[in-house]
Amino acid sequence: MWQAGFTYSVIAGIMSITLFFWALKNRDETIYLFSLLFLIVSWSGIEWALWILSYNLFQLVFQPIVPLASYFVAWTLFVIYASEKFFARRDWILFLLAVLAIIAIAHFCMDCL
């Protein structure tokens, strides 16, 4: 079952990157918001697949595993930069709020899903 989660995450990640390029090239905010949605879906797929394998992503991120932590930090900083430079500030604020909501659900209520 975890393979489906990773596959789902990879497909969402590819779609997110494709939409990022499209949105930044054409300055299309709607496509940019969809790219953020697919990025959140990709991160959620990674977390879900690791949870099925009995790994806690939140413990892994806060351990000194530099590539894993830098992956999430780099994407978050890129989203903030792109939103500030090309689009509206509310985009990255809504992105961070959505990520925090997903973290809260994943951390406190994973068995509820």
In the prediction, which pLDDT does 110 show? Answer: 62
**Confidence band (pLDDT; 50, 70, 90) for 95?**
confident
Rounded to an integer, what is the distance from CA 50 to the centroid of its chain?
15
Q: What is the pLDDT of residues 55-90, one digit of tens each?
A: 777 777 677 766 777 788 888 888 888 888 888 888
Cα distance between residue 113 and residue 106, in whole Å: 9
Q: What is the pLDDT of residues 4-14, one digit of tens each?
A: 778 888 888 88
Domain total in the chain? 1
Supply the pTM of this predicted model.
0.78
Are 79 and 36 spatial neighbours (Cβ–Cβ below 8 Å)?
yes
Where in the sequence is the domain holding 71, given as residue range(s)? 2-112
